[in-house]
């Protein structure tokens, strides 16, 4: 992160360029993280985690977010930090799950029946949650001068 920050500070003219940093999206690979002992990864999840009063622990290393915030705040070039991580932790339902493509081909019904092997809990459905990230980014771009 410091290497990136140093490069930005040395190479970007903030009078001509806006800099945004988007935090990583989380994974939803352990259904126990949202108290679903009978679930298999993110497969067949159709609702987000609705209880937003308690933090969700889906394996995100919060220390990385702390370091990211600290580094971006210390930079000469202003950086707009868009934290999509915490928002997205509640969206276990937003992954392609067993409705995905493997090696350029749609997952077969047999593969869909084996979510332990074939559930895709990394990629996100489109349209879907990534559109929300883009809406936040767009709103920030058009509403806030640096």
Q: How many CB atoms lie within 10 A of CB 125?
A: 17
Distance between CA atoms of residues 115 and 44, nearest Å: 9
Q: Helix axis angle, 2-11 relative to 62-73, nearest 10°?
A: 20
Q: How confident is the model at residue 146 (pLDDT cuts 50, 70, 90)?
A: low
Q: Is the preceding peptide bond at 90 cis, omega within 30 degrees of 0?
A: no
Length of the chain: 146
pLDDT at 99 over 80: yes
CA gyration radius, the chain:
18
3-class DSSP state of 135: helix
pLDDT, tens digit, 9 for 90 and up, residues 103-138: 899 999 999 999 999 999 999 999 999 999 999 999
Query: What local confidence, expressed as pLDDT, does residue 56 receive?
Result: 87
Mean model confidence pLDDT for the chain: 92
Q: Is the pLDDT of residue 144 over 80?
A: no
* Bond into 127 cis (ω within 30): yes
Q: Does the pLDDT value for residue 55 go beyond 90? A: no
Dihedral of CA 140/142/144/145: which sign? positive
Which helix (H) or strand (E) segment is 82 a member of?
strand 79-82
pTM of the model: 0.82
pLDDT of residue 68: 96
């Amino acid at each position: 992160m410091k290497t990136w920050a140093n490069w930005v500070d040395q190479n970007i003219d903030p009078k001509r360029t806006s800099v945004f940093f988007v935090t990583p999206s989380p994974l939803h690979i352990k259904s126990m993280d949202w108290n679903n002992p009978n679930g298999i990864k993110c497969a067949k999840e159709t609702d987000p985690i609705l209880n937003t009063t308690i933090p969700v622990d889906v394996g995100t290393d919060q220390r990385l977010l702390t370091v990211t915030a600290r580094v971006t705040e210390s930079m000469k070039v202003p950086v707009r930090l868009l934290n999509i991580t915490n928002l997205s932790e509640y969206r276990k339902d937003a992954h392609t799950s067993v409705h995905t493509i493997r090696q350029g081909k749609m997952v077969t019904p047999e593969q869909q029946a084996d979510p332990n092997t074939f559930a895709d809990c990394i990629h996100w459905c489109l349209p879907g949650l990534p559109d929300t990230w883009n809406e936040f980014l767009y709103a920030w771009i058009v509403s806030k001068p640096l």
